[in-house]
Amino acid sequence: MLKSIAAAGAALLFLPLVAQAASDTPVKIGVLGDQSGAYSAAGGKGSVEAARLAAEDAGLVLGKPVEIVSADFLLKVDVGVAIARKWYDEDDVDTIIDVPFSGLALAIADMTRTKKKLALFNAASSSELTGAKCSPYVAQWTYDSYSLGRGPTSGLISRGDNSWFFLTNDTVFGTSLEKEASAAVQAAGGTVVGSVRTPTASSDFSSYLLQAQASQAKVIGLVEAGSDLGTVIKQGEEFGIQARGQRFAALMATIDAIDGIGLKAAQGITVAEAFYWDQNDETRAFAKRFFERMQRMPTQVQASAYSVVNHYLKAIKAAGTKDPDVVMAKMRELPINDFMSHDAKLRADGRVLRDQYLFEIKSPAESKGRWDYYKQIGVIPAGKATRPLDEGGCPLVGK
């Protein structure tokens, strides 16, 4: 009997030591992105630096400096999955951010359910992440295929641009975004006259552009991103597509792509984004800090890398733990406030409710210099930019 009591007492003494040892590990955030391929300028090392800025601003979290680690998944899902698994299983990474590849994001989301680790995607776009394949450990921070598909479409159709042809990147990102955009066009009374699938990182889109031109659609919806978007627009300008009366609408634009294209080719294109560096004093202040480190203005992906890390660390401080279930509940409870978010909310399905902004790209004559590229022509309120909660099919809704 005395031996049993002694053993129990020893166990009780040991338990706090185990708990204390677990809480002694610093918060570690993994930025898993494309650092060398088509999407590297939109996120890449800029997303890593934005995450570092947020960690620096947070100071000590649970008594220790936050650790930021990063890796390039080389646009290969199997490589990204291997990195994520190692980070979760061996390297004590608490959450993964960025992931500009929906196929990889869906694989990581599936992983989070069994490993009980967080994935806070600021670059992945598939609406499935907050739909039927949602996870209690996943957030989709910036945009999704639903919001991107409803960005330029409704505004242009209201102006009479009601026939559309899509050039679509042949990935999960591309097909899901085209599906959402097509539904938005048809719901607004427009028609989709055709589409064509395009490869990633191609140097020649001429045959696809000729098909779009031959369709005589009023709008050519570009479901492309990163350097692919730039290549398409440059080649479209060479063919004189917009000069002949067809309009380009870029459904997944980032300012780095516009910078690479130049205003001569990009002027007049309609884009929708969650952030632009020159919107107000707050966005300009962040952009100045970012520019000092990267010598370029931040994209919406890089700005949201800061935003998601900032809110995650606030939630850990408020909760007093980095337990994923507790932290996720706190992230939903706290309003999201930073330079790109004003009382935004994280819903039960993992989607952040935030406004999207409609921009038109300036002409060279309108621009005051490099990075002065957008003029805001509208706001898409969060309620309209975000899929209704009961339409996604997320099994977490209502629980």
Residue 226: which pLDDT band, with cuts at 50, 70 and 90?
confident
Selection from 143-152, 170-179, 298-307 with the highest mean pLDDT: 298-307
**116 and 137 Cβ atoms separated by less than 8 Å:** yes
Instruction: Tell me the average pLDDT across 366-378.
Output: 96
Q: What is the pLDDT of residue 173?
A: 84
Question: Quick one: what percent of the chain has pLDDT higher than 90?
Answer: 81
Residue 165: which pLDDT band, with cuts at 50, 70 and 90?
very high
For residue 372, the cross-strand partners are none
Mean pLDDT (the chain) is 92
**259 and 277 Cβ atoms separated by less than 8 Å:** no
Is the predicted pLDDT of residue 15 greater than 70, yes or no?
A: no
Kindly list the distances between the CA atom of residue 151 and the CA atoms of 39, 148, 204, 357, 384, in Å, as whole numbers in the listed order.
21, 5, 27, 8, 10
**254 and 42 Cβ atoms separated by less than 8 Å:** yes
Q: What is the pLDDT of residue 142?
A: 97
Residue 2: which pLDDT band, with cuts at 50, 70 and 90?
very low
* CATH for the 147-276+356-385 domain, from 1.10.3720.10, 3.40.50.2300, 3.40.50.970, 3.20.20.20: 3.40.50.2300
- 53 by Cβ neighbours in 10 Å (0-12 / 13-18 / 19+) ranks as buried
CA 309, CA 302: separation in Å to the nearest integer?
A: 11
Is the predicted pLDDT of residue 341 greater than 90, yes or no?
A: yes
Q: Which residues contact 362 (CB under 8 A, 6 or more apart)?
A: 263, 267, 372, 373, 374, 375
Q: What is the pLDDT of residue 398?
A: 78
- 343 sits in the region (left: phi over 0; alpha: psi -120 to 50; else beta) called left
Task: Concatenate the DSSP letters of all residues of 339-397 into one string.
Answer: TTEEEEEE-TTSBEE--EEEEEEPPTTT--STT--EEEEEEE-HHHHS--GGGS--TTT
Q: In the chain, which segments carry CATH 3.40.50.2300?
A: 26-144+279-354, 147-276+356-385
Question: Quick one: what percent of the chain has pLDDT higher than 70?
Answer: 94
Mapped onto helix, strand or coil, the DSSP state of residue 191 is: strand
Is the predicted pLDDT of residue 14 greater than 60, yes or no?
A: no
Q: What is the pLDDT of residue 21?
A: 36
Q: What is the pLDDT of residue 151?
A: 80
The CATH number of the structural domain formed by 26-144+279-354 is 3.40.50.2300
Instruction: Tell me the average pLDDT across 206-224.
Output: 96
Is the predicted pLDDT of residue 17 greater than 50, yes or no?
A: no
Q: What is the pLDDT of residues 92-141, one digit of tens each?
A: 999 999 999 999 999 999 999 999 999 999 999 999 999 999 999 999 99
CA 73, CA 103: separation in Å to the nearest integer?
A: 12
